[in-house]
Amino acid sequence: MEAESAYIALGGNLGDPRQEITRGVEAITRLPRCELEICSSLYRSPPLTADGGQQPDYLNAVVRIRCSAPPAVLLGQLQGIEAAAGRSRSGPRWGPRILDLDLLLYGRVSQRESWLTLPHPEMMQRSFVLVPLLEIAPELPLPGEIRCKTALRPEMMKGCTLVAPPPWGGAHEKREAF
């Protein structure tokens, strides 16, 4: 299979989210048939709560990889990374989570299955996806054939603030790419 560019959103708001996201990026760098190309800055955003309940702010980032594993295989591997971080699937939708890895785009693949919808169905409404994506891929065509820089309306920028530019993984980390 030919390699495609794929975009992955990382987020979390439990434990030490910066460390969890750092480990999540490191785990992505170790996936077979995947190569990390670029990692965004680290951003902070308020939670989207379904019930108005309190939960901590999220940290978020987006990475681009080149991947020659099929999208379903990649999703399975991302869910394995979430599980290894201690992610429980029993909490409420939009509940706090230690590490969430969403597959935003996989080449030009378009499919709508409940277990894997591509492009990710909610990416166009989420400033914590579009702000980091704008940083690494401003010209990328998104669903509806609009470019990231056009999709991100000014009012969406407010909800998502810069925490640290790359490399934010920390000097102790083996890899300096992020």
Q: Which residues are catalytic?
A: 87, 97, 100, 102
118 interacts with ligand ADP by CB under 6 A = yes
User: With CB cut-offs between 5 and 8 Å by kind, which of ligand ADP, Mg ion, none does residue 161 bind?
Assistant: none
Q: Across-strand partners of 39? A: 63
Instruction: Quickly list DSSP for 82-138.
Output: HHHTT--S-SPTT---S-EEEEEEETT--EEETTEEES-TTGGG-HHHHHHHHHH-T
Q: Note whether 117 binds ligand ADP by CB under 6 A.
A: yes
Query: Which of ligand ADP, Mg ion, none does residue 73 bind to, with CB < 5 to 8 Å depending on kind?
Result: none
Encode 57-89 in three state secondary structure.
Answer: CEEEEEEEEEECCCHHHHHHHHHHHHHHCCCCC
Residues 107 and 5: beta-carbon distance below 8 Å: yes
Q: How far apart are CA 133 and CA 136, in angstroms?
A: 5
Closest by CA position to 120, among listed 4, 6, 2 = 6
Q: Which stretch binds ligand ADP (CB under 6 A): 26-34, 62-70, 100-108, 124-132?
A: 100-108
C-beta of 92 vs 170, nearer to ligand ADP:
92
CA distance 138 to 106: 17
Instruction: Report the residue from 4, 20, 100, 135 that binds Mg ion according to the rule CB under 5 A.
Output: 100
Q: Which of 4, 20, 100, 135 binds ligand ADP (CB under 6 A)?
A: 100
**Does position 96 bind Mg ion by CB under 5 A?**
no
Q: Which stretch binds ligand ADP (CB under 6 A): 20-28, 60-68, 95-103, 157-165?
A: 95-103
Angle at Cα 109 formed by Cα 1 and Cα 106, nearest 5°?
Answer: 75
Is position 72 an interface residue for ligand ADP (rule: CB under 6 A)?
no
User: Interface with ligand ADP includes 102 (CB under 6 A)?
Assistant: yes
Q: Which positions lie near Mg ion, rule CB under 5 A?
A: 100, 102
Q: Which positions lie near ligand ADP, rule CB under 6 A?
A: 75, 94, 100, 102-103, 115-118, 120
